[in-house]
Amino acid sequence: MKLVVQRVKRGSVSVAEEVLARIGKGLVILAGVGKQDDPQTVRVLAEKVANLRIFEDEQGKMNYSLIDVGGEALIISQFTLYANTNRGRRPSFTEAAAPEIAKPLVDLFAQSLRDLGISTQTGRFGAHMIVEIINDGPVTILLDD
């Protein structure tokens, strides 16, 4: 699993002009699932994201986690994180998991964050989405298994 974790002031996702989800302070997480991923990998990454100390304390140091600040999460499935551009100009996505494998794992990732007490919303798997991100910092972290 590959994640792009962005600290945000707010974020939202829309499909066909309909806002599906909106969050305030928290994290927008772009999530790609690879062929080798399994439920254990997903749970470990959810725990890591929830406890990643990337929110500032009173002294301006990154000492607080999403749990500590009571932040929200917005998860957007994004198979393009598995793009391979080593050959030619058209990306290959052969390492991305098939939708029937990826969707349940993205859903499990969202549920794992909820189980940790984080208010979590998602986009619509497989849809053409418009994602609005108001970065805070900016702070962007890449995580993978």
Nearest in space to 129 (alpha carbons), one of 76, 72, 83, 74: 76
Question: Which 8-state DSSP code applies to residue 64?
Answer: E
Instruction: Enumerate residues 6+ apart whose C-beta is below 8 A from 63.
Output: 53, 55, 56, 57
Nearest in space to 32 (alpha carbons), one of 5, 1, 6, 4: 1
Q: What is the pLDDT of residues 110-137, one digit of tens each?
A: 999 999 999 999 999 999 999 999 999 9
Give the pLDDT of residue 5.
Answer: 98
Question: Which 8-state DSSP code applies to residue 97?
Answer: P
Q: What is the pLDDT of residues 18-35, one digit of tens each?
A: 999 999 999 999 999 999
Mind listing the domains of the chain with CATH numbers? 2-139 (3.50.80.10)
Q: Tell me: pLDDT of 54 over 90.
A: yes
Q: What is the pLDDT of residues 66-86, one digit of tens each?
A: 999 999 999 999 999 999 999
Assess contact for 109 and 33: CB atoms under 8 A: no
Catalytic residue numbers?
78-80
Give the pLDDT of residue 57.
Answer: 96
CA distances from 58 to 12, 30, 61, 62, 63 (A): 27, 28, 7, 10, 9
Q: Tell me: pLDDT of 93 over 90.
A: yes
